[in-house]
Amino acid sequence: MTLVHPLVDPSLLRARLGPDAARALDEMLATLAEDPPAIGRLFAGAARRTARGDLEGAEGGHRVEDAVRVELVRAAAAGLDPGALAAELEALYRHGDADERRAVLLALAATGDADVDGSELLLDALRTNDVRLVAAAMGPHADRLTPHDWRHGVLKCLFVGVPLHAVAHLDERTDADLAAMVRRYAAEREAAGRPVPPDAARFLGPTALTTPSADLEG
Amino acid sequence: MRIFDPHIHMSSRTTDDYERMYAAGVRALVEPAFWLGQPRTSVGSFTDYFDALVGWERFRASQFGITHHCTIALNPKEANDPRCTPVLDVLPRYLDKDGVVAVGEIGFDSMTPAEEEAFRRQLALALEHGLPAMVHTPHRDKEGGTRRTLELVEEAGVDPGMVVVDHLNERTVAAVDERGCWMGFSIYPDTKMDPDRMVRILQERGTERVLVNSAADWGRSDPLLTHATGTAMLAAGFSEDDVDRVLWRNPVEFFAQSGRLLLPDGETDGRVAGGGAPAPDPGSTFEGNSVLRGERVS
């Protein structure tokens, strides 16, 4: 069994789902308690069997379908050792659409077991230009990234317009190298006459800044 | 004018197109899986393409306020290449996904036995997954291909209401209409169908079960010909409600049968079909769109 924390308070999720969708979730959870690998079948259709949309009142601006999919991961994880859970999460990610991939990244962030290592999936997400994946990759699981990869993840957030509050442990991990990278990035933006993201200010000192753009890497 | 383009290959188009489409009223679309203009040589090439249809392209469209759906299939042209046909075994993985609203494009290119085998197997997949089927009719011998298509649909036991037969013209529409399938028309600058001919067909047959698309891809084509057709309908005396039915409510009704639509109100079940489609949010712009799913980019 492997510990995964809920994405949001389960009672909040159930209140948002309503009785029919909560029942559908319970059915899936019961299936997974008996047969954890069934998550490979249930994960893709989980949103349309329950609900999707904003989860008002939840911290972190999470979505209903994300919270539902993390519940499925929790149920499967209860019957899987850390290695088997990591393998299942990798399969779900590799075969997933963008929503499923985001949910896997969020589940990794909620995993409380040090033996589950999804850093390859985080690096894959950080190579995309999908801001939703980039944001989800920089949660607590990004603690496992090397300083080099983590710094580039933070810079990528600035570059594509992901707010830095999505980055876990930013203050603790910020170092002189990251600050220098951000300063060079800001200097490049200024040289081009383009606005510097306000989130860069924390690395730059007190400077008047304008709104960010959302450039995409080619 | 709100527009749902039920057949457009956005992977081949630029962000300029997305901007022009949004300005013209396009708020949702379906991108059918097809060939790339250059033959594929392996299953991996298909899966990378399918992954882009359910991943990057969906995100790219959302940045411009457009809801992107797709259909997944082995296309008829590449059904003839034994290096490609093993992709049929991979399709079920994709057919369970949200936003995958049909099996397609399937059908005929050169009417070969290999095409017919892939067509049959994929009609069976549509039945198994509760999905509509989108059928491409051939460029050459369109009438023969359409006739054989309708025979195979009947043999497979697929409800005609779950099938759209696409790229129709004056010569092929009657048989499809009589069978009760949905009728797809691709409006092109030079070939296939043009807005005025489309209006004449609508005048003769009415608006029921008609889907109008731009089928824009990497060839000479125009994503705004759906809008041009709506304008031509109004000029010919059709009402705004008629235009809305053809360009929005009909495709919503057809694809809602999949239960996998991702329309702006977040509803993915079939309720939008019975109760009328949700009106797109006029303020749903790139910046206003929730690309971070809950938090704004800026």
Give start and end residues of each alpha helix (H) in chain A: 10-34, 39-49, 64-77, 82-94, 98-109, 119-127, 131-137, 147-160, 170-173, 176-191, 201-204
Question: Would the CB atoms of B294 and A63 count as touching at under 8 Å?
Answer: yes
* Full-model pTM: 0.86
pLDDT at A214: 52
- Residues in chain A with pLDDT values less than 70: 206-218
Query: Do B54 and A98 count as a contact with CB atoms less than 8 A apart?
Result: yes
Q: Provide the 3-class DSSP secondary structure of residue B32.
A: strand
Q: Is B294 on the interface with A (CB under 8 A)?
A: yes
Between CA B193 and CA B201 the distance in angstroms is 10
Structure token digits, residue B242: 């008629």
C-alpha Rg value of chain B to the nearest Å: 18
Instruction: Write down the pLDDT at residue A204.
Output: 87
User: Does any CB of chain B come closer than 8 Å to the CB of residue A5?
Assistant: no
pLDDT at B189: 86
Q: Which residues of A touch B59 (CB under 8 A)?
A: 98, 129-130, 132
Residue B292 touches partner A, C-beta closer than 8 Å: yes
Note the pLDDT of residue A208.
42
Cα of B63 to nearest chain A Cα, Å = 10
Q: In what order do the strands lie in the sheet with B210-213?
A: B3-5, B26-32, B67-72, B100-107, B133-136, B163-166, B182-186, B210-213
| Positions of chain B with pLDDT under 50 | 266-298
| B295 close to A (CB below 8 A) | yes
For A169-181, how does the pLDDT look when each residue is reduced to its tens digit (9 = 90+)? 999 999 999 999 9
Torsion over CA: A192, A160, A156, B68 (sign): negative
- CB pair distance less than 8 Å for A163 and B297: yes
List all residues 6 or more positions away from A150 whose beta carbon is below 8 Å from its beta carbon: A142, A173
* Model pLDDT, residue B271: 36
Of B2, B37, B49, the closest CA to residue B21 belongs to B2
Distance from CA of B15 to the nearest CA of A (A): 12
Nearest C-alpha in A relative to B58: A98
Task: Provide the pLDDT for residue B289.
Answer: 36
Global ipTM: 0.82
Using CA coordinates, name the residue in chain A closest to B92.
A41
Give the per-residue pLDDT at B292. 37
Contact predicate B133/B102, CB 8 Å: yes
Q: Two tokens at A51? A: 């609900």
Which distant-in-sequence residues (6+ apart) come within 8 Å of B56 by Cβ? A98, A128, A129, A130
Query: In a mutagenesis test of the B interface, which of A7, A48, A105, A165 is the best target, namely the one with the most B β-carbons within 10 Å?
Result: A48
CA atoms within 13 A on the CB side of B62: 25
Q: Give A46-71 pLDDT, tens digit per residue.
A: 999 999 999 887 777 899 999 999 99
- Three-state SS at B187: strand
- What's CA A123's distance to the chain center, in Å? 12
> If you ran DSSP here, which 8-state letter would residue B249 be given?
I
Ordered structural domains, chain B, with CATH: 3-274 (3.20.20.140)
Look at A48 and B99 and tell me if their CB atoms are within 8 Å: no
Contact criterion met (CB below 8 Å) for A196 and A172: no
Cis bond before residue B170 (omega within 30° of 0):
no
In DSSP terms, B16 is beta-bridged to: none
Per the CB < 8 A criterion, the answer to whether B65 and B285 are in contact is yes
Q: What are B26's strand-pairing partners? A: B3
Are A74 and A6 in contact by the 8 Å Cβ rule? The answer is yes
